[in-house]
Amino acid sequence: MCSGCESGVSDVCGSYADKIAVVNVGEIFQNMPAREAVAKQLENEFKSRATELQNLEKDLQSRVEKLRRDGATMKQSDREKQEKELMTKRDQFAEKAQKFEEDNRRRQMEERNKILSRIQDSIKSVAAKEGYDVVIDANAVAYAKDSIDITSQVQKQVK
């Protein structure tokens, strides 16, 4: 018996896990066909907004170039008007680009979490079926025998 168990200092003494497994969640995630399908889905979902941003950027670039080219020969009031319009367009572009990035990042995280949830469910299923008490991500372990690696079993289950 552990020292300290008799005095009630430690409750750890008899609580060691009987059966431990490791799983490489990152490898499973990278090999999932659903990941590629989701990437294409998101690309299509954001395609029109990406195109709109590209067009706005081209418009901004052409306005900047026109102002550089013609600014010296313009009346000051016309040049100031063009500069003000350019600043407004630049601000609109920056705001739309930021919103696009935020929305894109949010959707990617949503879809990533859905896939990870499926992987987690498969890990639980394999662990229960094989009688594992603890399953640890392989990236958090310095060494593990191949015999306790359940990555391939989980990968088969999750597809």
Query: Is position 135 within any domain?
Result: yes
Query: Is position 149 within any domain?
Result: yes
**Residue 50 domain boundaries:** 20-157
| Structure letter (DSSP) for residue 22 | E
Query: Is position 15 within any domain?
Result: no
CA proximity to 47, closest of 100, 106, 93: 100
Query: Is position 10 within any domain?
Result: no
Number of domains the chain contains: 1
Structure tokens given for 22: 């490791």
Tens-digit pLDDT profile for the chain (159 aa)? 444 444 444 444 455 658 999 999 999 999 998 888 999 999 999 999 999 999 999 999 999 998 899 888 889 999 899 999 999 999 999 999 999 999 999 999 999 999 999 999 999 999 999 999 999 999 998 888 888 999 999 999 987
Query: Is position 82 within any domain?
Result: yes
- Answer yes or no: pTM beyond 0.85: no
CB-based contact 132:19 (threshold 8 Å): yes
| CATH number reported for the structural domain that contains residue 53 in this entry | 3.30.910.20
